[in-house]
Amino acid sequence: MSEYQYIYFAAVDRALDDKQLAFMEKQSTRANATRWQFEVEYNYSDFRGNAIEMVRRGVTVHQSQSVAWG
């Protein structure tokens, strides 16, 4: 069985500072991380980042979608 995952985080009230952005970038080497958003897609593996800590460190919105097939 295969799985597709889409993970999205957004900072709404203010941009992430350097320390927050560095933490977000460490959560996935595949992610597109900016001061305002973090976005990553997986086709055959799982997001192993710490979503709870990401929210604690400055992101306001978290969206996750998973689709399994096979």
Q: Over the stretch 11-63, which tens digit does the pLDDT of each residue have?
A: 999 999 999 999 999 999 999 999 999 999 999 888 899 999 999 999 989 89
Q: How many domains does the chain have?
A: 1
Maximum alpha-carbon separation in the chain: 41
Give the structural domain span for 57.
2-69
pLDDT at 9: 96
Residue 3 has pLDDT above 90, yes or no: no
Give the 3-state secondary structure of residue 4.
strand
In this structure, are residues 64 and 9 in contact, taking their beta carbons and an 8 Å threshold? no
> Among the residues of 1-70, which ranges form H helices?
18-26, 51-56
Q: Global pTM?
A: 0.82
